[in-house]
Amino acid sequence: MTSAITVLVTGAAGQIGYALLNGICKGDMFGLDVPLNLHLLDIPPLMNSLQGIVMELEDCAYPLLKKVEATTDVAVAFNQIDFAIMVGAMPRRQGMERKDLLAANVKIFRDQGKALDQYAKKTVKVLVVGNPANTNCLIMRHYAPSIPSNNFSALTRLDHNRLKAQIGLKLNVATDKVTQCCIWGNHSGTQFPDIAHGHVTLSDGKQVSVREAVKDDDYLNNDMIKTVQSRGAAVIAARQLSSAMSAAKAITDHMRDWVKGTNDWVSMAVVSNGAYNVPEGLIYSFPVTVKEGQWEIVNGLSISDFAEAKMQITTKELLEEKEIALQFCST
């Protein structure tokens, strides 16, 4: 058995954190032979709930789980961690303007970014889940300059999974038969779910393009995109709660692939290097592949005028968020 790793989950008392922890401790995320220590961070009013979660973790008797540290102190939470899963963030409340949401999250991710920089291992890999995830990730990276830029990412795997699921449902095939699809841009309503390069393996074993299989460009260019973009809101309308099970699954997928590698394109929001005319430094979702713990943007894809227009919309939103966030960083 390998040496134990230390994993931080923030917002651990929330519903996503609760849904996530079982998979981590079972070995779904890092491997069935990787022991781990858990650091769980949340705000003081939720400490009793967090202690209840610790009791449940103990009662599960996971063979891989060696130690659990529940805390409200960032110095304790970030100490010598190998992985940070940043679920906790200020949620958008009724009547709250986007700039108010960004202002609240700048404070949270400024403080946590500084703690990451000061206390975590310099090899730490960071996944930001709390929304607005892309820009919260940008803020955290801004305040943790000693951590390599490529060690930061934000979650768009949930959108990626939703896209593959919609195509699978449309064609009545399993989602693993749908490949080379991706999400561009922001984890928001402006994201661009893209099937232009996607393929599907049909029941007869034949592999064809998604467009050839679906045979409905109007659906692919309109309803499919809108369904993926608004899926989170649809879940809230149905459950009266935001996505938790699917979010936890997407977090697990993201981290597992980042650690173990990929055999297909996946979507990760990562630091732009200028590829596809996306401004450098933005945290932007790209199609990527991963090998030996390092992601690489899939380069050289042809981008249609339709796709370019969609990508520009989500780029504009991210630039606006960045400008607002950095204004608060300087105050």
Which residues does the annotation mark as catalytic?
Answer: 187
- Residues with Cβ within 8 Å of 319's Cβ and at least 6 positions away in sequence, in order, are 279, 282
Q: What angle do CA 246, 249, 251 make, to 5 degrees?
A: 110
- Residues with Cβ within 8 Å of 16's Cβ and at least 6 positions away in sequence, in order, are 87, 129, 242, 243, 244, 247, 248, 251
CB burial of 108-120 (b: ≥16 within 10 Å; e: otherwise) equals bbbebbebbbebb
Tokens 């996946």 sit on residue: 266
Question: Phi and psi for 185 in degrees, rounded to 5?
Answer: 95, -130
* Pairing, β 5-10 against β 152-154: unpaired
Looking at the DSSP assignment, which residues form a beta bridge with residue 104? none
Closest CA to 156 of 196, 179, 190, 124: 190
Q: Are 103 and 293 in contact (CB under 8 A)?
A: no
DSSP label of 44: G
Query: CA–CA separation, 211 vs 133, rounded Å?
Result: 30
